[in-house]
Amino acid sequence: MKPRIIVIVGPTASGKSGLAIELAKKYNGEILCVDSRTVYVGMDVGTAKPVGRVEGLEGKERVGKGGKGIVGASGRSPSLPLQVEDIPHWGIDLIEPNQEYNGALFKEYAEKVITDIVSRGKLPILVGGTGLWMDIVVDNLESPEVEPDLVLRAELEKRSVEDLFSEYENLDPDGALVIDKKNKRRLVRALEVCKKTGRPFSALRQKGESSYDALWLGIEVEKNVLKARIDHRVDEMIEQGLVNEVINLNKKFGCDVYSMSGIGYQEFCNYLRRGERPLALSEINDITEQIKIHTRQYAKRQMTWFKRNERINWVMGLDEAKILVEKFI
């Protein structure tokens, strides 16, 4: 029999993490965070990482978002989970922000973690909003094997993200619905595959046989409620020190590494590239509004991706989720 796993998806700020923790407490579970941003060490506030502790590493405890003694910066091994409300959280702080990483590498890590959780008689609960990575792990999704074309990439890199997205939209309309139109690296790769194969990038991804028996849960939130939650989360990030986090990361790694292209980082980086002068309060307020807008747009793309998955059981909260989990296990 295939191992049973719970998969929790939904847009950012929908309450996925809270639901995952409650289900883990009730059904003896451990959580695997499937997120393309929380894998980076030191990127804490802008990725809304959970706050917890690490057992066995005295003095290397995570004390809070934007606080001192961040776990990743303390040299924590990714083999040790972050304990949040006494629930192990895997998949956090795996690599440095200047290291290359992708969904295929995360899949290798995730398979080992899931096997380990199951071997200890626990229930793996996968939670995250990165739809592609979740599909790669759960559905054994394989991306097309197209060798990099360095000449073509160099030509594409010279163009603006707006120009790249416009061409990609013509070549792959379905893929354009869910791709991050401001992420130059992803646009370049998608266009590279389209041009080299003559086929849409989104149509080339193939599902293999899944190794898991998965119950998919999706959190459904009313649009106005989600908007308010997103705005509140962004305001909290600013209060918790997002500005200083970006400034410090920029000093250490620069703003051109891929990890810094995420929402919350790219907006501040656009200002930091203009010089070393301190950001004025009015500029911080402007950037904050940009982050809110971009986050709401991202949430819409997330829902576009997830709504195409007919296996997802959409729930409004814990009570509905427990009914489905009880039947499943």
* DSSP annotation string for 91-148: SSS-B-TTS---HHHHHHHHHHHHHHHHHTTPEEEEE-S-HHHHHHHHS-EE------
pLDDT computed for residue 174 by the predictor: 86
Mean pLDDT across 70-90 = 70
**223-257: per-residue pLDDT in tens?**
999 999 999 999 999 999 999 999 999 999 999 89
Confidence at 178, pLDDT banded by 50, 70, 90:
confident
pLDDT computed for residue 69 by the predictor: 34
Q: What is the CATH number of the domain that holds 188?
A: 1.10.20
What is the residue-averaged pLDDT of the chain? 89
Looking at the structure, tell me whether residues 179 and 120 fall in a common domain: no
Looking at the structure, tell me whether residues 56 and 20 fall in a common domain: yes
Distance CA(103)–CA(116), nearest Å, equals 20
**122-172: per-residue pLDDT in tens?**
999 999 999 999 999 999 987 777 888 989 999 999 999 899 999 999 999
Looking at the structure, tell me whether residues 98 and 238 fall in a common domain: no
Looking at the structure, tell me whether residues 37 and 119 fall in a common domain: yes
- Let me know if residue 229 belongs to a domain: yes
- Let me know if residue 306 belongs to a domain: no
- Let me know if residue 137 belongs to a domain: yes
- Let me know if residue 274 belongs to a domain: yes
E strand or H helix that includes residue 5: strand 4-9
E strand or H helix that includes residue 179: none
- Let me know if residue 190 belongs to a domain: yes
Looking at the structure, tell me whether residues 9 and 114 fall in a common domain: yes
Q: What is the CATH number of the domain that holds 237?
A: 1.10.287.890
Confidence at 277, pLDDT banded by 50, 70, 90:
confident
Looking at the structure, tell me whether residues 242 and 263 fall in a common domain: yes
Mean pLDDT across 273-301 = 91
Looking at the structure, tell me whether residues 45 and 181 fall in a common domain: no
- Let me know if residue 305 belongs to a domain: no
Looking at the structure, tell me whether residues 263 and 318 fall in a common domain: no
pLDDT computed for residue 204 by the predictor: 79
For 187, counting Cβ atoms within 10 Å of its Cβ (0-12 exposed, 13-18 middle, 19+ buried), the class is buried
- Let me know if residue 18 belongs to a domain: yes
pLDDT computed for residue 203 by the predictor: 81
pLDDT computed for residue 151 by the predictor: 92
Q: Count the domains in the chain.
A: 3
pLDDT computed for residue 179 by the predictor: 84
Q: What is the CATH number of the domain that holds 108?
A: 3.40.50.300
Owning domain of residue 263: 223-299
Residue 49: CB atoms within 10 Å: 25
pLDDT computed for residue 61 by the predictor: 47
Looking at the structure, tell me whether residues 240 and 212 fall in a common domain: no
**8-66: per-residue pLDDT in tens?**
999 999 999 999 999 999 999 999 999 999 999 999 999 999 988 876 655 444 434 43
Looking at the structure, tell me whether residues 24 and 88 fall in a common domain: yes
Looking at the structure, tell me whether residues 230 and 93 fall in a common domain: no
Looking at the structure, tell me whether residues 127 and 249 fall in a common domain: no
- Let me know if residue 304 belongs to a domain: no
pLDDT computed for residue 17 by the predictor: 95
